[in-house]
Each structure stands twice: as structure tokens, then as C-alpha cells.
């Protein structure tokens, strides 16, 4: 089952809290593209896209889209003062040289060791891996946004990924429609729960080793 629009925005709003002043942050397609709408004006951040933009702003209002300004997924964007354009090779060079502080992307599965599978389901056609492999390996912090379970209600947080890996031991933080978890020493640490779910709901929907934080925050 897919995420409703309210849940998608709630996840994006929580993810925006991970952004610190002065960061360069890469945003994946889907939920991550909503994040610029929730970054406080006091935070100076440059959002990076693999198609060659640094300085993405909030989504444009309907009817005010610029057909020449889009993110890596092809969706319309605005740009901030000081933004710049480059070719895709330079955009990928920024990733590979370690100039991007954080990437926020989606996933099909994440293991308790922090392995990431997010680019293909065997037997299904996809357009390609895109920048996921470089981002997962070279960016300083990897944050995953996703539904806690797949369309069949099966856990996406697992002991071992069954799908082809994008990269091993790369994920730092996971934000789902049910919870926020850190990867710590080959297990998941539950630090926040999204209301109306409970700790028990999160554990039942997770097929991985989970430890509970001493102070679990409830997100309204």
C-alpha cells in the first residue's frame, strides 16, 4: 500500500529536522522532493540534484512552473538566490569527491546492518540506478524515507536484504510512516514513534533486531 499525501508530508517535515546550517544536501525522488517546503528560513542549505542544480527551493505554485527548471526526477522546482547550474558529470563529481553532506532517498529494503536496496525489483523494468550507488557510498550521511511495510504488508526493515543491494552498511537514519530509527552497531535503535502507532506496532512490522531508546519520542 502506498503512502497517503498527509503521511508523505509528515515524513518530509521530520526529515527536514536533520538538515543543519550550511549543508549541501542531495534529495531523491518522491518524498524527499517535498523537504524544501519544510526547511526553516533561518537554515541556509543548498539542495543538490544529479541533473546539475545546486540550490533548489520550495515547489512552485501551480501555474508558476518553469518548464526549464526541474529536479532529477523531472518535477518542477524553484531555485534560491546563489543557486547554480552545471552538467551532470560535475554534479556526480561533487558526490564522488565527498562534497555532499547528506543524501535523503527512498528504499525498497534496509537491513539491520544498514545495507540499502533501493534500485531494482528483479523481473521489473526500471530506468536505471541513477545516482543511488554513488550517493550511498560517498555522501557523509544517508537518510532513508519510506513506508514501514511494502504493498503486501511485509516488513521493509529486515535482518538481511533479499533484493539486490545498492550499497552495504551505508544507512545512518530511517524515517518511516511509523517510526524513526538509527543504525547502531548492526541493529536498529528506535528513537521516535509516529502517532497513532505504538512501540508494539513498530516492532510487529519490523523483521530486524530493534533496541529501544531510553527516551522514545512520540511524534503527533
Residue 28 grid cell: 531523491
b/e map 159-198, b = 16+ CB within 10 Å: eebebebbbeebbbbbbbbbbbbbbeeebbbbbbbbeebe
Q: How many CA atoms lie within 13 A of 206 on its CB side?
A: 26
Listing from the earlier edge strand, what are the strands of the sheet with 157-158?
A: 116-117, 109-111, 157-158
Question: Which residues are CB-contacts of 75 (< 8 A; sequence separation ≥ 6)?
Answer: 29, 33, 59
Residue 64: asked if its preceding bond is cis (omega within 30°), the reply is no
Sign of the torsion formed by the C-alpha atoms of 202, 186, 32 and 117: negative
Give the span between the Cα atoms of 173 and 15, in whole angstroms.
10
Residue positions annotated with a catalytic role: 50
Chain-centroid distance, C-alpha 10: 13
Amino acid at each position: 500500500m502506498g503512502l497517503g499525501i498527509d503521511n508523505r508530508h509528515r515524513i518530509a517535515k521530520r526529515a527536514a529536522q536533520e538538515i543543519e546550517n550550511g549543508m549541501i544536501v542531495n534529495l531523491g525522488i518522491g518524498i524527499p522532493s517535498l523537504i524544501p517546503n519544510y526547511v526553516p528560513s533561518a537554515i541556509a542549505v543548498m539542495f543538490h540534484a544529479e541533473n546539475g542544480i545546486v540550490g533548489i527551493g520550495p515547489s512552485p505554485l501551480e501555474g508558476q512552473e518553469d518548464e526549464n527548471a526541474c529536479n532529477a526526477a523531472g518535477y518542477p522546482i524553484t531555485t534560491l538566490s546563489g543557486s547554480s547550474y552545471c552538467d551532470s558529470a560535475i554534479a556526480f563529481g561533487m558526490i564522488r569527491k565527498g562534497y555532499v553532506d547528506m543524501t535523503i532517498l527512498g528504499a525498497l529494503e534496509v537491513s539491520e546492518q544498514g545495507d540499502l536496496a533501493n534500485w531494482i525489483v528483479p523481473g521489473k523494468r526500471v530506468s536505471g540506478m541513477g545516482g543511488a550507488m554513488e550517493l550511498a557510498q560517498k555522501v557523509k550521511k544517508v537518510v532513508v524515507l519510506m513506508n514501514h511495510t511494502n504493498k503486501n504488508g511485509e516488513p521493509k526493515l529486515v535482518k538481511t536484504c533479499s533484493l539486490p543491494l545498492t550499497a552495504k552498511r551505508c544507512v545512518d537514519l530511517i524515517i518511516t510512516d511509523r517510526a524513526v530509527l538509527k543504525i547502531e552497531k548492526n541493529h536498529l535503535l528506535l528513537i521516535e514513534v509516529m502517532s497513532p502507532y505504538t512501540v508494539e506496532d513498530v516492532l510487529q512490522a519490523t523483521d530486524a533486531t530493534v533496541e529501544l531508546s531510553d527516551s522514545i519520542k512520540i511524534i503527533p
